A and B are shown apart, each in its own frame.
Chain A
Amino acid sequence: MGRYGMFKQNAFMFGYSQKRLFLAQELGFKLMGFSIIVNEKEAYEKAVADGYNNVKLLDITDDMALEQLVVQDNDYLICVMDDHHLNVFLTLSLHELFPKAIVVALSDSPHTTQKLKMAGASKIIDLYQVSANRIYNILHKPVATKLVERLLTSDEDFSFKEMPIPKGSSLDGVMVDDFDFTQHAVILVGMIDERLSNQFIFITSGLENRFDVGDTIVCIGYNADLERFEEYLKL
């Protein structure tokens, strides 16, 4: 079992190239229903040779072919084609065919990002924007950058963790300010308050919240401390 546990959702990654090996590897490891969809024979053969079982060769410009995919609500459709025109077109098609699925796409410019948004992508990662931010952070926030790097690297002993507050938890009904997280060697970063908005709220935003059953709290800490704290929540 992976670091984040197995996911119920399936993920379909559209496109497979040298640049996406890491992503495919990690997703293949974390997600039970992970499929790779390609539109070129070469990419298909490479994915199969790399050991992936669920690889499909489709004409992704053909809606009839795409319709054959078994996509459930909230499944992830990851558009990472090297050709960004095709990527936008694919996003549009997928959003139209599977409106309840989550389309995640990769962009290479603000113009593409805008087009992907219009095409219906739920999450867009701009390759160069994140890199530009990284350069700025290396220059001006080196310590913070190292920390984020540690958080993003899956083989580190240090991470973010989302923890739902279970029934009967000692945290139920407690005001945020009244609970001392430092005792448990973790830092509360934010929470999703089911009662209020079901949106992620940063703890530093100044809202006076109360922990209730069903809320999800998000903490940073060493993995061992986080797991200990998760157990504590259940008490």
Chain B
Amino acid sequence: MKHNSFIIEVKGVDVFKNMIIKFAFFLNGSNSYKQTKEIASNFLQNQDYYYKKYFDIFMISLILVSITILVYEVKHDVPKWMDFFDIYIVTIIFTLEYLARLWVYNDWHFLVVKEYGESQFLNRKFSLWKVTKVVLKGKFEYLVSPTAIIDLLAILPAYRPLRVLRIFVLFRVFKLLRYTKSINQFLSVLSSKKFELFTLLFLLLFITITAGIAIYVFEQQKNENINSLFDALYWALITISTVGYGDISPVTPEGRVVSMVIIVTGIAMISFVTSVIVSAFSEKLTELKENRIIEEINKNEEFMIICGYGQMTRMFLKHYASEYNRRYIVIENDKEKVEEAIKEGYRAIHEDASRHDVIAKFNTDYAKITLLALTGSDIANIYITLNAKALSTKIRVITRASTDKLAKKCKLAGADSVVMPTQIANRMLFTAITQPVMYKAIYAILTGQHLAQLDEINLVFHQRLVGKKLDELNFKEHKLLCIGLQVGVSGEFIFNPPMRLHLQEEDILLLMGRKVSIEHFKMLYGEVRYV
């Protein structure tokens, strides 16, 4: 009988194990589960995720509303709906957030699948307990982390029967820490001077205790305000901090000497602490500023990274910086040049763009990034190109090269386009001499002068043009010239297209005319432009 029940028990365990393994494999293979978890993780943890800022704003607003209700409730009766909102809505959202953070902290199914795979490979018995231990350890790590404890305690004020729990409203204030970067940055700066600050703290404690004991010994019998050691320590701390309430003051000459000593020590220590904090900030200020710039730029869906602040970058920014509406960043490894760029009003950071971790700081997964490798060194430009393309092939790279041979190398490195200043200038010089009238025309077109521009009308942004016959568009009336048409599907370019052609989706019309004519035409057919 005993034997049979043992078999049933073993079988029961095996069935349970099998179910867990099957479920883990199911989750591991489920794309929708993975996507859901990734979205949740992005909202909760990924600082580079574009939509995280909206989630953060929502949570901050919820915290502020909840604190306002709880504080107002101390002296006033709040309407029922408000109470309901605080008890149910806010608490439920906080609870869901807490559980979601616990969920995304680690992947149990992945560990089960991994352990099962290894056990099969090694012909070893699969141990569910071993995996469970690892998973629970991970979840426990999260549960005891300061931020998780704050999150949990922030849920408690909702429990109305115990009014004492209302004090946990403070934790809702602390919860703001998670969403406000400046406080976190302040704490991280302070933590860089941990050693100095702890040393000062111990010194402060030592002097306070010594002075407290001294005043207690000298005045306990003579000063009616000092009745215990606690009173003496309280006096010492109030005096050393230079606050000096005046509720306790020394009455003996010995006590006054102790006072004088700790007042001087207190002033010295305050100066010391201030200088430590100031030096920590000045050391970290540039880094903090640069990180802030990167964070800001990462919030954009589309931006540009310009490597090198040489003459070409200067020229580019001088003419086009306003068009990019601060959706660009200059990376330069010469500090003086960075300062110069900042002085000229451009966004610049002091970093080496050829380093992998520098480009990796940018949101290469979600944002549409264009990288301009415009340093004065061809080798550096090729390296930067390789670096960017190794990180993500989606990054569009335009590289500067000085010769044809190097241009080929840039292409091999993955550059989408190569710009050769010398070659362009030579061609322009050649045109200026051999075709002076043409030079004027091309120069006007290239520099986008108001009297003649060559512009593109992309039908992706001008859907109203789709299906229209070129003839119907009456270019002559709009004082425009239809120079060509790039056929969307094939990419074939038709110069001087026949007017009987019908426009199709993704076609690109190439028009020439005055800036005002082109803008009017674009407006007429409704341009949808990403800002």
Instruction: Tell me the A residues contacting B by CB distance below 8 Å.
Output: 4, 7, 11, 19-20, 22-23, 26-27, 30-31, 76, 78, 80, 104, 106, 108-110, 123, 125-144, 146-148, 151-153, 158, 160, 162, 177, 182, 185-187, 189-190, 192, 200, 202-206, 216, 218, 220-222
The reply to whether A177 and B434 contact each other, CB–CB distance below 8 Å, is no
Residue from the list A23, A160, A192 in contact with B430, Cβ < 8 A: A23
The reply to whether B451 and A132 contact each other, CB–CB distance below 8 Å, is no
B504 to chain A, nearest CB (A): 15
A76→B431 CA distance, assembly (Å): 13
The reply to whether A78 and B437 contact each other, CB–CB distance below 8 Å, is no
Residue from the list B398, B429, B441, B448 in contact with A200, Cβ < 8 A: B441
The reply to whether A133 and B437 contact each other, CB–CB distance below 8 Å, is no
Instruction: List B contacts of A185 (CB < 8 A).
Output: 496
A142→B448 CA distance, assembly (Å): 14
The reply to whether B435 and A4 contact each other, CB–CB distance below 8 Å, is yes
**Residue B484 CB within 8 A of the other chain:** yes
**Residue B72 CB within 8 A of the other chain:** no
Provided the pairs A128-B311, A177-B476, A202-B451 are in contact, do residues A135 and B419 lie with their beta carbons within 8 angstroms?
A: yes
A106→B421 CA distance, assembly (Å): 12
| Nearest chain A residue, comparing its CB with the CB of B396 | A139
Residue from the list A106, A182, A202, A216 in contact with B429, Cβ < 8 A: A106
Residue from the list A76, A143, A160 in contact with B493, Cβ < 8 A: A143
Instruction: List B contacts of A190 (CB < 8 A).
Output: 437, 441, 452
**Residue B423 CB within 8 A of the other chain:** yes
Q: A127-B421, A202-B444, A206-B479 are in contact. List 12 more A-B contacts (CB 8 A).
A: A19-B426, A106-B429, A128-B311, A130-B424, A131-B400, A132-B312, A133-B447, A135-B316, A147-B483, A158-B495, A200-B440, A220-B483
B92 to chain A, nearest CB (A): 48
The reply to whether B435 and A204 contact each other, CB–CB distance below 8 Å, is no
B396-439 interface (Cβ within 8 A of A): 398, 400, 402, 417, 419, 421-439
Cβ proximity bits B435-469 to A, threshold 8 Å, 1 near / 0 not: 11111111011111001101110000000000000
Instruction: List B contacts of A187 (CB < 8 A).
Output: 481, 483, 496
Most buried by B among A26, A144, A220: A144
A182→B514 CA distance, assembly (Å): 21
**Residue B28 CB within 8 A of the other chain:** no
A140 to chain B, nearest CB (A): 8
Provided the pairs A139-B398, A185-B496, A189-B441 are in contact, do residues A203 and B451 lie with their beta carbons within 8 angstroms?
A: no
The reply to whether B315 and A128 contact each other, CB–CB distance below 8 Å, is yes
Residue from the list B372, B433, B451 in contact with A78, Cβ < 8 A: B433
A25 to chain B, nearest CB (A): 10
Residue from the list A27, A130, A146 in contact with B446, Cβ < 8 A: A130
Instruction: List B contacts of A104 (CB < 8 A).
Output: 429, 432-433
Cβ proximity bits B503-531 to A, threshold 8 Å, 1 near / 0 not: 00000101011100100000000000000
A-B contact count (CB 8 A): 186
The reply to whether B428 and A130 contact each other, CB–CB distance below 8 Å, is yes
Q: List 16 A-B contacts (CB under 8 A).
A: A20-B426, A26-B434, A31-B433, A127-B425, A131-B421, A133-B446, A134-B446, A143-B510, A158-B495, A182-B498, A186-B496, A187-B483, A190-B441, A202-B452, A204-B514, A216-B437
The reply to whether B423 and A22 contact each other, CB–CB distance below 8 Å, is yes
Residue from the list B311, B400, B512 in contact with A204, Cβ < 8 A: B512
Residue from the list A139, A147, A153, A203 in contact with B454, Cβ < 8 A: A147
**Residue B238 CB within 8 A of the other chain:** no
A205→B512 CA distance, assembly (Å): 10
The reply to whether B456 and A78 contact each other, CB–CB distance below 8 Å, is no
The reply to whether B440 and A128 contact each other, CB–CB distance below 8 Å, is no
Residue from the list A127, A147, A203 in contact with B484, Cβ < 8 A: A147
The reply to whether A125 and B417 contact each other, CB–CB distance below 8 Å, is no
**Residue B314 CB within 8 A of the other chain:** yes
Provided the pairs A129-B315, A131-B419, A135-B398 are in contact, do residues A204 and B479 lie with their beta carbons within 8 angstroms?
A: yes
The reply to whether A123 and B456 contact each other, CB–CB distance below 8 Å, is no
Instruction: List A contacts of B58 (CB < 8 A).
Output: none
The reply to whether A204 and B513 contact each other, CB–CB distance below 8 Å, is yes
A149 to chain B, nearest CB (A): 9
| Nearest chain B residue, comparing its CB with the CB of A3 | B434
A-B pairs, top 9 by smallest CB distance, nearest first, are A132-B316, A132-B315, A204-B513, A131-B421, A144-B454, A128-B315, A202-B452, A23-B426, A160-B438
A104→B426 CA distance, assembly (Å): 12
Instruction: List B contacts of A26 (CB < 8 A).
Output: 426, 430, 434
A206→B452 CA distance, assembly (Å): 11
B484 to chain A, nearest CB (A): 6
A63→B135 CA distance, assembly (Å): 87
Most buried by A among B417, B419, B430: B430
Instruction: List A contacts of B452 (CB < 8 A).
Output: 190, 202, 204-205
| Nearest chain A residue, comparing its CB with the CB of B404 | A22
